[in-house]
A and B are shown apart, each in its own frame.
Chain A
Amino acid sequence: MSRTVSASLPIGEAAVPDCRHTRPIERRFRFPFWTWAHRLTALALLVVFLLEPWLPANVFHGNWNGAVWFGAWTILDPLAGLETIVASRTVSWELVAGMATTVVAALLLGRVFCGWVCPLGLVLELNQTVRRRVHKTHHRTTLDSHRSATHRIKFYVLAGCLVGSAVATVPLFASWSPINIPFAWRGEDRLWALMPPAVLVVIEWWWPRVFCRSLCPLGALYSLLGRWSLLRVRITGEERLACRRCSRDCPMGIAVMEDHVCRGASSIDDPDCTRCGICADRCLGHILRLEWSRSRS
């Protein structure tokens, strides 16, 4: 059974005995660098993919299942690639080479696709931000989220996609991906292609970011690949102010303070962490840093 923490819990010893105020909290404005960085990167890519029909082919062409940059660098969606392998029972060198970029990036950087690249992730995160301003409360943070049942569902969806693709002999997520459909749709009434993201935006008014946290099989695959990543939010310094802004503002519902900072961890090693850096921007004690490090601790 997962335990949840709501935003109305009192800060301090009653909630988290190992964290306490040791000095007055200074509230200075600090530019939220990582927040802007990851959203602008995802926005830039979203714009490029939207403009794809008008871009010259030697600059960029393709969609979220497969894209070619500058006529030379092919990047394939790893889930779509895996599905074609199990659907057709064959592998080709081109396929492996195309998947290499995303797979290696996930191994080194973790689930950065979801935070820095995915257009649906950007739309849903902005949706989440608007919802927080309107509702003036935050969604529940799930303690030990990587072990909770709701976060595990996406791995079962991933297994279902792969088994289904093998039985159907066609790639299923590649055909039904809510990430790719708005870009790959051709035909009349192109506005219908916006249905999947629109439905998710509506649903997520009640369950924020539920798609990314609980359902997306591509996110599940990146989460599995990113377990050993060297890019992480590191926890530095001795001071723990227990302001709880990191847990409160984490888009993926990771209990940053309760599960990581207050347990003395040296980094956030939750597989759902998309390295968006919001916790690092918000931290009042300035102890969270999004960093690359050789050591895996």
Chain B
Amino acid sequence: MDRRDFLAAASAVSIGGLTGAAVRWQIDDQAAHLRPPGSRSERRFLSQCIRCHHCVTSCPVGALVILPGIGPGAAATPAIDARRQPCDLCAGRPVMRCIESCPTGALRPGTTRREVAIGVARIDQRSCLPFQGVACRACWRACPFSGEAIRYDSLGRPYVDPRHCVGCGLCVHACLTEPPSIQVEPFASKKQLPREAPP
């Protein structure tokens, strides 16, 4: 390799590295989306997703949508809009289809329904009906882990136990208020993953 080759290769590597750094800096600022079950955190998911859309095609309820645009961030990756169509964790089917279809392991194979960790629901107490004195059990009825992930206190007001909530969004879809009083906060990074007991 002569000097010109070396310079060309070094330039390419430097440009690649700088582009990579710029991309990383930009995507770190972006908000996390709600990802298909089997994903761990936004950061990890974006690094493994090959943007092939097999999960989107295989979802039997059409919960996964392809985010619009071009780019190395969230564009062309699958996400769940829980209010439009939540993930029902393939209830009644032997396996979760998206996890089965992912060819890169971005949705970790072998994830069970209870191990799913795509986000944690959070209740907005300003609009949630029981907090205004109106009895409502819509989220509790929709939750696949009701009694564990969503519980009611002695005054009949719901609260989410992050140890059990998987982030499927069925509660968001069922909430009676508009905008919904319960939203799923996706995990942006690995640090948010371990579930802690509620304060």
How many contacting A-B pairs (Cβ < 8 A)?
159
Chain A binding surface SS class: helix
Q: Which residues of B, 49-76, contact A by the 8 Å Cβ criterion?
A: 49-54, 57-58, 65-73, 75-76
Looking at B5, B19, B70, which has the most chain A CB atoms within 10 Å of its CB? B70
Contact with A along B41-54 (1 / 0, CB 8 A): 00110111111111
B5's contact among A63, A152, A168, A176, by CB below 8 Å, is which?
A: A152
Do A61 and B57 touch (CB < 8 A)?
A: yes
Do B48 and A63 touch (CB < 8 A)?
A: no
Residues of chain B within 8 A (CB-CB) of A152 are 5, 8
* B104 interface residue per 8 A CB criterion: yes
* B31 interface residue per 8 A CB criterion: no
The distance in angstroms between the C-alpha atoms of A217 and B106, with both chains bound, is 24
* A218 interface residue per 8 A CB criterion: no
* A293 interface residue per 8 A CB criterion: no
Contact with B along A252-263 (1 / 0, CB 8 A): 000000000000
A76's contact among B21, B27, B48, B50, by CB below 8 Å, is which?
A: B50
* A44 interface residue per 8 A CB criterion: no
B24's contact among A62, A95, A169, by CB below 8 Å, is which?
A: A169
Do B57 and A95 touch (CB < 8 A)?
A: no
Contact with B along A154-169 (1 / 0, CB 8 A): 0011011111111111
B9's contact among A66, A94, A159, A176, by CB below 8 Å, is which?
A: A159
The residue in chain A whose Cβ has the minimal distance to the Cβ of B104 is: A95
Residues of chain A within 8 A (CB-CB) of B13 are 156, 159-160, 163
* A123 interface residue per 8 A CB criterion: no
* A224 interface residue per 8 A CB criterion: no
Do A76 and B103 touch (CB < 8 A)?
A: yes
* B23 interface residue per 8 A CB criterion: yes
* B109 interface residue per 8 A CB criterion: yes
Contact segment of A127-135, A184-192, A242-250, A273-281: A184-192
| Contacts known (A159-B12, A160-B19); A65 close to B52, Cβ less than 8 A | yes
Do A165 and B54 touch (CB < 8 A)?
A: no
Looking at A166, A168, A187, which has the most chain B CB atoms within 10 Å of its CB? A168
B70's contact among A92, A157, A181, by CB below 8 Å, is which?
A: A181
* B20 interface residue per 8 A CB criterion: yes
The distance in angstroms between the C-alpha atoms of A81 and B72, with both chains bound, is 14
Chain A interface residues (CB < 8 Å from chain B):
57, 61-63, 65-68, 74, 76-77, 80-81, 84, 87-88, 90, 92, 94-95, 98, 149, 152-153, 156-157, 159-172, 174-176, 180-181, 184-188, 193
Q: What are 5 contact pairs spanning A and B, CB under 8 A?
A: A62-B57, A66-B104, A92-B104, A168-B21, A171-B51
A-B CB proximity, top 3 nearest: A187-B68, A66-B52, A160-B16
Chain B interface residues (CB < 8 Å from chain A):
4-5, 8-9, 11-13, 15-17, 19-21, 23-24, 27, 43-44, 46-54, 57-58, 65-73, 75-76, 101-106, 109
